[in-house]
Amino acid sequence: MVWFLGLLACFQPAPPEVHPTRQLVSDEEVAILVDRLASAAGVQSSHVGAAGQPSEVWATAVAVGSKATVDQRITLLNHESPVVRVYMAGTLCAEASASDALRALEADLSEVGVTDGCDISQSTVGQEVASKRWCSAALTGVGK
């Protein structure tokens, strides 16, 4: 039985290689916003709670997506914060140059808290990326 569990462990996807903000982004304005986003406890939809209050976390994600270039957002898919990885994936859904990186992120088993409207749950980065529920042009500042 022990050998079977050891064999099973060999087939688990490797955890993503992640890095802090300053190793991924040199633009100070973007880095400050990314660090603010990384401090969030989880991802949130644009409006949360029973009264549908605007989410500050979402607003910060929009600010990052608006300021960061496509290449910076692709690089941020390797950020140490699962929150940053989910939101940046959401900004890149329609970006052909990000398709391989997004597909690889679907195997990310890092846990992330999710607040979608009134619904609060736990998920993984991979589940959130695969669900495409965070895919939104609004995260890049379009249609604000």
Rounded to an integer, what distance in angstroms lies between the CA atom of residue 79 and that of residue 68? 14
DSSP state string for 55-103: PHHHHHHHHHHHHS-HHHHHHGGGBS-HHHHHHHHHHSTT-GGGHHHHH
Regarding predicted confidence, which is higher, 49 or 37?
37
pLDDT at 46: 97
Higher pLDDT, 12 or 119: 119
Q: How far apart are CA 91 and CA 133, in angstroms?
A: 11
DSSP for residue 49? T
**What pLDDT, on the 0 to 100 scale, is given for residue 143?**
73
Per the DSSP assignment, residues forming a β-bridge with 114 are 43, 121
Grade residue 50 by pLDDT with cuts at 50, 70 and 90.
confident
* pTM of full prediction above 0.95: no
Q: What is the pLDDT of residue 1?
A: 52
Q: What is the pLDDT of residue 16?
A: 72
For residues 18 and 48, give the distance between their C-alpha atoms in angstroms, rounded to a whole number: 29
The tokens describing 112, both together, are: 């992330």
